[in-house]
């Protein structure tokens, strides 16, 4: 039996056509040219593509593949794939396995069934997929997967990957300019990096299948609170249950084979909630890997008779799930630009990049907020266990002190962390970080990167990442502009840092983001607090944002408007499904159970009365149940009316507003009556598994 360590190294990346495989299988000159192309240098010719495609096919066939697919990420936020076989007929009636460069680099899926936000008329069905050679191809099952960008016939981006790739170029270009101005001419490119921590719930498949709300919407639309919730704080980092540990092992193995470096796993705060984190990599590959991770978490769960819930808020009353996007920038010379070093006050490059991020976050807070606005997150953001909808930056004591020094004229010292002595002679002294953690901050500096915590657990990492890249690129371009013109770069840098430290100190908040006092304080500071998804999505097309994306060639005005429309329609569409599902369950499962119970109660009362006993409690319960049945009935009718009305509105933002202002409150009324009934009706008659069962039974 092999130990686990050698197992990992044996299987890691075994199904990936990675650099090592290419080096081994491609002719030397082709490998070299291709390596340069991936760095953005040199032309991609069809001859190179042909050679690579052929090597890829041979490798994939050895791995048992029979098909290939262009794997892309349309605006649904999910991935899409269309499989074609390698089989090609020969004139003599036989077949050979073939794969050309043309098939590798370009595909032509019918684009008409993917959301386009009006970018593509239905009669112009044609769309193109283009190979993204910066993300490695891999074999999964019997198919060779080729990561691709997806665009319309006229070249507009119809996917999540295209703007991300464009934003990576933007941030690289501006960062290189700044570095050059600061005297670092040897840097050719800068890559943005991402390590997304993924939260999720696991519940037993048996319970899942009995709940149409979970099956159709991914979250519970009914459910009285469990007598025990998360108040004991005993789940976070708790010992892993055997069944869960077996599941996680299986997930890791699957991911390692695909080259996804899943490393950290632990229980999360809520019962039945867990987290998985990979080792960070370039933003683009990390985003692809996160899609594979979500898919694998769901698929492997079924094998273990679990269901993995990725929804942002599957259960009311316990924590929701997010994705913590750890983001930074690294040079091609290997320097992490957000690494402060031991004396950050002297690290000019670090201070410039740190200040650039701070200014970007403050200047474009509304865009960052909008990049995480979706239906699920609306229930999560602003609730007391998640970052509030106010965007602020956590720096910690050391950097906060440096920022204050900068604002006052110049940074002269860095606070030290020191040592932590535990007072026990057998325990070693621990070096203490000079920066504590702040788990409540939506945008926290965590040692050598920023952690954007508002991202929802179902979301593609692309949106939040391309927004961060673009807004940082924008501020870097301002800084580069000023430094390139300056006669004395050192002086100019100090001036810029001072100004940023002064102007944007308001966005820095090191306290408890969940406290009510922060909401008041943030308002005083003039920071936006956009609570609803609709309001937030409406800010995307503000003039300043259109200019920003256009300037850095990330999205055209049309693309930005189209995206906003898709997001608004997605919001309305998902609430519509939730409302219809709720009506279905309320009318066909809950109401009949309540009627049955009230009937039984009434006949029992009759029997008891016949026996000559008056029972007041039975009378009280029956009255309560019947009162709530009336409330439920009225709620159902009201919900039906509001849904009908909302469905008939055609303007996307007006429709989304109707869902938010009328349908969501009507749903809350139905739920309130039903949840109250759940606490009164015979548990054996109740048609849905309870919160307590789902969250605590393994
Ligand atoms: P915590 O839960 O304490 O925040 P984890 O270890 O769960 O930390 O996750 C931290 C994540 O940050 C990992 O995915 C890690 O690879 C990632 N990370 C570390 N350094 C960087 C960096 N320079 N750029 C992007 N992500 C990073
Ligand atoms: Mg973590």
Q: Given a cut of 80, is residue 157 above it in pLDDT?
A: yes
Reported as a single tens digit per residue, the pLDDT across 408-433 is: 988 888 887 666 566 666 666 666 66
Backbone angles phi, psi at 203, to 5 degrees: -130, 160
The DSSP bridge pattern shows strands 393-394 and 262-267 to be unpaired
* H-type alpha helices, 125-210: 161-181, 205-209
Which atom of ligand 1 is nearest the CA belonging to 327? 25
Among 246-250, 262-266, 271-275, 557-561, whose mean pLDDT is lowest? 262-266
Q: Given a cut of 60, is residue 60 above it in pLDDT?
A: yes
Ligand 1 pocket residue status of 277, Cβ below 6 Å: yes
Q: For domain 166-222+234-555, say whether CATH 3.20.20.70 is its number.
A: no
Q: Which of 190, 191, 197, 237 most suits a substitution to test ligand 1, by most atoms within 8 Å of the C-beta?
A: 197
| Ligand 2 geometric centre to CA of 277 (Å) | 7
What is the dihedral sign for C-alpha 547, 548, 553, 558? negative
Reported as a single tens digit per residue, the pLDDT across 452-492 is: 999 999 999 999 999 999 999 999 999 999 999 999 999 99
Of residues 114 and 562, more confidently modeled: 562
Reported as a single tens digit per residue, the pLDDT across 97-107 is: 889 999 999 99
Reported as a single tens digit per residue, the pLDDT across 578-613 is: 999 999 999 999 999 999 999 999 999 999 999 999
For residue 228, the model assigns a pLDDT of 78
Give the residue extent of every domain in the chain: 4-158, 166-222+234-555, 571-696
Q: Whose CA is nearest to atom 5 of ligand 1?
A: 277
Ligand 1 pocket residue status of 50, Cβ below 6 Å: no
Ligand 1 pocket residue status of 353, Cβ below 6 Å: no
Distances (CA, A) of 491 to 182, 192, 483: 11, 28, 10
Q: Which of 263, 266, 277, 287 most suits a substitution to test ligand 1, by most atoms within 8 Å of the C-beta?
A: 277
| Ligand 1 geometric centre to CA of 480 (Å) | 29
571-696: CATH, from 2.40.160.20, 1.20.120.1560, 3.10.20.30, 1.10.3720.10: 1.20.120.1560
Which atom of ligand 1 is nearest the CA belonging to 324? 4
Q: Give residue 551's pLDDT band: very low, low, confident or very high (50, 70, 90).
A: very high
Q: Give residue 362's pLDDT band: very low, low, confident or very high (50, 70, 90).
A: very high
Query: Average model confidence (pLDDT) for the chain?
Result: 91
For residue 584, the model assigns a pLDDT of 98
Give dist(CA 648, CA 651) in Å, integer.
Answer: 10
Which atom of ligand 1 is nearest the CA belonging to 195? 14
| Ligand 1 geometric centre to CA of 371 (Å) | 20
Ligand 1 pocket residue status of 336, Cβ below 6 Å: yes
pTM, full prediction: 0.93
DSSP 3-state of 329: strand
* Cβ 183 vs Cβ 276: under 8 Å: no
Q: Whose CA is nearest to atom 11 of ligand 1?
A: 195
**Fold match between 166-222+234-555 and 571-696?**
no
What architecture is domain 4-158? Roll (3.10)
316 contact partners, CB below 8 Å, separation of at least 6: 220, 223, 225, 379
Q: Whose CA is nearest to atom 14 of ligand 1?
A: 195
Q: What protein residues have CB closer than 5 angstroms to ion ligand 2?
A: 197
């Amino acid at each position: 039996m092999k130990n686990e360590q050698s197992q990992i190294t044996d299987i890691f990346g075994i199904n990936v056509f990675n650099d090592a495989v290419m080096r081994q299988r491609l002719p030397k000159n082709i490998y070299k040219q291709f390596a340069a192309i991936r760095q953005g240098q040199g032309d991609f010719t069809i001859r190179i593509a042909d050679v690579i495609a052929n090597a890829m096919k041979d490798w994939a066939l050895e791995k048992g593949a029979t098909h290939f697919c262009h794997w892309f990420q349309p605006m649904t936020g999910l991935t899409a794939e269309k499989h074609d076989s390698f089989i090609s007929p020969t004139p003599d009636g036989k077949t050979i396995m073939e794969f050309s460069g043309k098939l590798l680099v370009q595909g032509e899926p019918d684009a008409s069934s993917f959301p386009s936000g009006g970018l593509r008329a239905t009669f112009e069905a044609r769309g193109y997929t283009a190979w993204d050679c910066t993300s490695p191809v891999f074999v999964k099952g019997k198919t060779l997967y080729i990561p691709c960008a997806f665009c319309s016939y006229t070249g507009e981006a119809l996917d999540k990957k295209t703007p991300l790739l464009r934003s990576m170029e933007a941030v690289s270009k501006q960062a290189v300019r700044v570095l050059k101005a600061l005297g670092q001419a040897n840097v050719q490119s800068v890559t943005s990096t991402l390590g997304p921590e993924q939260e999720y719930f696991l519940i037993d498949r048996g319970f899942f299948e009995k709940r149409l709300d979970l099956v159709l919407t991914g979250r519970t639309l009914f459910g009285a609170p469990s007598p025990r919730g998360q108040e004991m704080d005993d789940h976070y980092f708790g010992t892993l249950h055997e069944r869960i540990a077996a599941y996680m092992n299986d997930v890791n193995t699957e991911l390692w084979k695909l080259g996804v470096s899943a490393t950290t796993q632990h229980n999360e705060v809520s019962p039945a909630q867990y987290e998985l984190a990979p080792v960070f990599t370039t933003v683009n590959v990390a985003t692809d890997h996160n899609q594979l991770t979500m898919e694998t978490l769901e698929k492997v769960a079924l094998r273990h008779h679990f269901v993995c819930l990725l929804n942002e808020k599957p259960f009311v009353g316990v924590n929701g799930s997010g994705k913590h996007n750890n983001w930074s920038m690294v040079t091609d010379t290997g320097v992490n630009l957000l690494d402060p070093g031991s004396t950050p006050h002297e690290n000019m490059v670090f201070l410039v990049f740190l200040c650039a991020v701070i200014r970007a976050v403050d200047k474009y807070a509304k865009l960052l907020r909008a990049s995480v606005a979706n239906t699920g997150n609306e229930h999560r953001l602003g609730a007391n266990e998640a970052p509030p909808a106010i965007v602020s930056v956590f720096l910690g004591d050391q950097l906060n002190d440096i920022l204050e020094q900068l604002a006052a004229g110049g940074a002269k010292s860095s606070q030290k962390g020191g040592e932590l002595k535990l007072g026990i002679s057998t325990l070693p002294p621990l070096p203490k970080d000079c920066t504590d953690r702040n788990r409540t901050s939506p945008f926290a500096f965590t040692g050598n990167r920023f952690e954007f915590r508002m991202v929802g657990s179902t979301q593609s990492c692309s949106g939040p990442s391309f927004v961060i890249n673009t807004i940082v690129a924008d501020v870097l371009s301002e800084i580069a502009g000023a430094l390139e013109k300056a006669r004395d770069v050192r002086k100019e840098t100090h001036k810029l840092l001072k100004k940023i430290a002064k102007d944007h100190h308001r966005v820095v908040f090191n306290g408890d983001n969940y406290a009510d006092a922060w909401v008041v304080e943030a308002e005083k500071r003039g920071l936006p607090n956009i609570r609803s998804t609709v309001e937030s999505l409406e800010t995307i097309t503000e003039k300043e944002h259109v200019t920003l994306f256009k300037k850095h060639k990330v999205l055209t005005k049309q693309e930005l408007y189209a995206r906003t429309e898709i997001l608004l329609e997605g919001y309305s569409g998902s609430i519509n499904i939730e409302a219809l599902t709720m009506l279905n369950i309320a009318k066909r499962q809950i109401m009949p159970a309540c009627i049955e119970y009230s009937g039984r109660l009434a006949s029992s009362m009759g029997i008891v009365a016949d026996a000559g006993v008056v029972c007041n409690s039975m009378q009280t319960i029956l009255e309560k149940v019947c009162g709530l049945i009336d409330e439920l009935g009225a709620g159902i009718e009201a919900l039906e009316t509001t849904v009908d009305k909302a469905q008939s509105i055609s303007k996307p933002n007006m429709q989304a507003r109707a869902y938010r202002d009328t349908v969501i409150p009507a749903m809350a009324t139905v739920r309130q009556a039903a949840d109250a009934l759940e606490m009164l009706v015979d548990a054996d008659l109740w048609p849905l598994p309870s919160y307590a069962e789902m969250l605590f039974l393994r």
